[in-house]
Amino acid sequence: MKAASKSMSIFWVATLFSLACTTAPEGVAEPNVEEENDRFIIVDRTGKRWDVSHAFQKYQMNPSEFQFGVGPNAIRPILNPRHLEPGQSGYPADHSTFLILGTTLEEETRSYSIDKLTFHEVADEKFGEVHVAVAY
Amino acid sequence: MYSREIDGEVLTLAASGWTYDYTFVLYDFETESLWYHLEGQDGLTCIGGLYKDRTLPEFESTKTRWNQWKADHPQTTFLNNTSE
């Protein structure tokens, strides 16, 4: 079974809505779209400008349908993942039933709680010599 | 779960702060290219920036309950980042 990071959780919908309300109460989700000579620029809540011309022209992604734009520092990825081995303090009890994302790569089997991934969206990982983004 | 290697370079992926169709749009620190999981596509497609139209392949992963995963993979490690 593949577990792709396709849709956001209710947690993030609520959180992004809250962040967007805080920074721009007059327009919660809609981006500020600037059109310049066939280029489409969306401006996020921090003033950062993102060129989405190619997304529009090649993939029909409507610039006005990009949402929230809370800025790239609002949701921080896990850049230095640390893992517990079985038996170490803090390692979950076998009978716990929380949701996880698990994988085996390069003969290493790792797991990530969905709650933790939801909060950071991405963990930038390395399995052996293979660099992987764990996203949910 | 996606590769973050392209043309011999390693990318650092993160949330851009944007969503589209209720899905996060990611970006990479190194080039600020935008990456998105297009409907019906495997992997992340670069929708804008240096790597436009390139794909970061997806790796197999499993969403399940911890007790089931642990029973099937007794030696699994567990992410323990608590301070971020």
Q: Which pLDDT tens digit goes with each residue over B28-51? A: 999 999 999 999 999 999 999 999
What percent of chain A shows pLDDT beyond 70? Answer: 79
The count of structural domains within chain A is 2
Domain count, chain B: 1
Provide, as residue numbers in chain A, all residues whose Cβ is less than 8 Å from the Cβ of B11: 131, 133
Integer Cα distance of A37 and A118 in angstroms: 38
Residues A112 and A85 in one domain: yes
Q: State the pLDDT confidence band at A2, using cuts at 50, 70 and 90.
A: very low
Residues A60 and A100 in one domain: no
Angstroms from B28 CA to nearest CA on chain A = 10
Residue A12 confidence (pLDDT)? 63
Give the least confident one: A16-30, A41-55, B1-15.
Answer: A16-30
Higher local confidence (pLDDT), A104 or A11: A104
CB A45 within 8 Å of CB A36: no
To the nearest whole Å, the CA of B80 is away from the closest chain A CA by: 5
Nearest to A84 among B26, B78, B84 (CB): B78
In a domain, residue A20? The reply is yes
Question: Which of A65, A86, A110 delimits the end of a domain?
Answer: A65
For range A25-43, the mean pLDDT: 81
Query: Which domain does A36 fall in, by range?
Result: 10-65
Percent over 90 (pLDDT), chain B: 95
Bridge partners, A101 (sequence order):
A112, B63
| Residue A108 CB neighbours (<10 A) | 16
Ramachandran quadrant class, B22 (left: phi over 0; alpha: psi -120 to 50; beta: rest) = left
Report residue A18's pLDDT band, with 50, 70 and 90 as the boundaries: low
pLDDT given for residue A73 in this prediction: 87
- Does A125 map to a domain? yes
Residue A30 has pLDDT above 60, yes or no: yes
Distance separating alpha carbons of residues B27 and A49, to the nearest angstrom: 13
Average pLDDT over residues B51-70: 97
Mean pLDDT, chain A, rounded, equals 87
Question: For residue A1, what pLDDT is reported?
Answer: 36
β-sheet with B23-28: strand ranges across: A66-68, B13-20, B23-28, B34-36, B44-48, B55-56
B81 within domain boundaries: no
Place of tokens 């992410």: B79
Residue B79 inside a domain? The answer is no
Q: What is the pLDDT of residue A60?
A: 97
B residues 6-65 closer than 8 Å to A (CB): 10-27, 34, 36-38, 45, 47-49, 52-53, 56, 58-65
* A87 and A133 housed in the same domain: yes
| A4 is a domain residue | no
